[in-house]
Amino acid sequence: MIILSLICCNLLGAKLSFGQNIKLNANTLHPVQVSMSLEKLDGKDVVRVRKDPSVIEVDQPTFVRINGISFKNGVIKVKVLSRLLKNAPELARGFIGIAFRINELNSKFECIYIRPTNGRAEDQIRRNHSIQYFSYPDYPYTRLRKESAEQYETHADMGLNEWTQLRIEVKDQRATLFLNHNKYATLVVNDLKHGADTSGAIGLFVDVGTEGFFRDLQILPDN
């Protein structure tokens, strides 16, 4: 049985205790509009995720939902790696990230993801769109970019087919993203669109054209 280590403590409504390992099976992971498999990559246990090709629109509930967690405030850490599928469309960027505070119906959630192909692009505008926050269903990236240009996305160095650590710190209506072991945040969101009092599940998110891999997931308490 492949196991993904999950450290969990002081989470609202959590069914898991601190330091408990989650066995990756149908009881702990639930694919939502994605396909999922449990594999080895670089000698590590990983979850491999691909978006259902029938889901045409972007910024949709396309993730592996982790059962047994109700997350409000705290820290989510995970290592991610993405590749482009052979049939990936022109708009594919290797989209991969974390959805959080997902409601029971998967109809509301917050999400932060990266676009690895943009991190080292020669086009500076594409570079500026390397990291993205969106809020489902009312605030996809297209609306945020139109109404609040530059506020919910930014640049960071990253690339396809390489491990990148995401550390998302969530406190009430604020979320900050740290990449790898950087001391300072890469993205700061001060107004999570679903407000300060929401809670819900965590999901391993991918979007169009991406073959995504996730490992070393940790969920830590709010300090």
Which tens digit of pLDDT belongs to each residue from 155-205?
Answer: 999 999 999 999 999 999 999 999 999 999 999 999 999 999 999 999 999
Query: Where would I find the H helices in the chain?
Result: 124-127, 141-147
- pLDDT tens digits for range 20-42: 344 556 678 999 999 999 999 99
* CATH number of the domain bearing residue 184: 2.60.120.560
The CA-atom distances, in angstroms, between 15 and each of 78, 148, 222 are 20, 38, 17
Cβ atoms < 10 Å from Cβ of 140: 17
pLDDT value of residue 7: 47
Burial 174-196 (b: 16+ CB within 10 A, else e): ebbbbbeeeeebbbebeebbbee
How many domains, in total, are found in the chain? 1
- pLDDT tens digits for range 81-130: 999 999 999 999 999 999 999 999 999 999 999 999 999 999 999 999 99
Domain span holding position 43: 3-220
pTM, two decimals, is: 0.91
Q: What are phi and psi of 136, to 5 degrees?
A: -90, 135
Beta bridge partners of 44: 41
